[in-house]
């Protein structure tokens, strides 16, 4: 048995539609007065269909496919964010998700305080966060702004801080969604280097990206998704080629 793995068997995931099916009072009145047709009921979105996948230790899995194929859904399902409707999902290893980088940020608190909040949210202890604090501040290049409320930051400064915090902690299973190269050109070079280090250390990597060059550079296995299903699984060069052919 592998020390680290992700196993999905016959997994089905639906996004519930009831939120979109709710009608407003205005819509009700208009339809009663026959001024507007009654809203058609929408079906739940079946985003992962009878999905089977085993990712073993050492695998750097790239996930590619057209918009709406189910790539982000897959990542969030592995990350335990969405409950599955049926099937089995088993994860062995500690997960570090790098999507929603700014999750848990409080705009009224300072950068320094936010390092603590976000670090705790990522599962770190206060002591460990304090030890990492200076390195995060240096990496984010925020200088004295670290003691200002983050409401005063530019969007680039916010991204740099979010990125520096999220990438300061490594995980055994790393889930990544298009986060390589955050910030301006100079920062992007630094960010990519840091990301590469993190990806190198992970026991398992799942990388969702439209950047096929990075996928080929980083991954040793790629899956191509279409309508919530895997339609090809194998060597990066072969799977990427099949995907590119689908544009022709």
Ligand X SMILES: Nc1ncnc2c1ncn2[C@@H]1O[C@H](COP(=O)(O)OP(=O)(O)OP(=O)(O)O)[C@@H](O)[C@H]1O
Footprint of ligand X on this chain (CB under 6 A)?
15, 45, 47, 65, 67-73
Measured from the CB atom, is 22 or 186 closer to ligand X?
22
Shortest spacing between CB 241 and ligand X, in angstroms: 19
Nearer to ligand X, 69 or 239 (CB): 69
Using left for φ > 0, alpha for ψ between -120 and 50, and beta otherwise, residue 205 falls in beta
- Pick from 123, 124, 73: which is nearest to 99 by CA? 73
Contact status, residue 197 vs residue 170, Cβ threshold 8 Å: no
User: Minimum Å distance from CB 193 to ligand X?
Assistant: 25
What's the closest the beta carbon of residue 134 comes to ligand X, in angstroms? 35
- Choose between 68 and 87: whose C-beta lies nearer to ligand X: 68
CA distance 152 to 22: 38
Q: Which of 94, 3, 85, 101 is nearest to 44 (CA)?
A: 85
- Give the Cα separation of 131 and 51 in Å (integer): 41
Q: Tell the smallest beta-carbon distance from residue 45 to ligand X (Å).
A: 4
Angle at 223 between CA 234 and CA 165, to 5 degrees: 120
Q: Which is nearer to ligand X, 183 or 228 (CB)?
A: 228
Looking at beta carbons only, is 18 or 127 nearer to ligand X? 18
Q: How far is the CB of 216 from ligand X (least distance, A)?
A: 18
């Amino acid at each position: 048995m592998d020390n680290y793995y992700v196993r999905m068997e016959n997994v089905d995931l639906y996004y519930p539609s009831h939120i979109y099916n709710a009608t407003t009072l205005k819509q009700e009145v208009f339809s009663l007065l026959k001024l507007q047709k009654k809203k058609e009921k929408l079906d739940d979105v079946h985003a992962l269909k009878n999905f089977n996948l085993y990712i073993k230790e050492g695998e750097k899995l790239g996930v590619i496919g057209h918009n709406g194929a189910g790539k982000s859904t897959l990542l969030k399902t592995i990350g335990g964010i969405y409950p599955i409707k049926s099937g089995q999902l088993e994860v062995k290893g500690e997960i570090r998700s790098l999507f929603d980088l700014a999750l848990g940020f409080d705009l009224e608190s300072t950068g320094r305080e936010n390092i603590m909040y976000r670090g705790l949210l990522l599962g770190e202890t206060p002591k460990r966060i304090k030890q990492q604090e200076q390195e995060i501040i240096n990496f984010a290049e925020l200088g004295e702004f670290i003691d200002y409320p983050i409401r005063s930051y530019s969007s680039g400064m916010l991204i740099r801080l979010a990125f520096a915090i999220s990438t300061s902690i490594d995980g055994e299973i790393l889930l990544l969604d298009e986060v390589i190269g955050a910030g301006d050109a100079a920062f992007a070079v630094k960010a990519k280097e840091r990301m590469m280090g993190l990806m190198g250390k992970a026991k398992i990597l799942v990388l969702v990206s439209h950047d096929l060059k990075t996928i080929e550079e980083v991954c040793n296995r790629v899956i191509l998704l279409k309508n919530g299903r895997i339609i090809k699984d194998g060597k990066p060069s072969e799977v990427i080629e099949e995907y590119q052919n689908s544009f022709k």
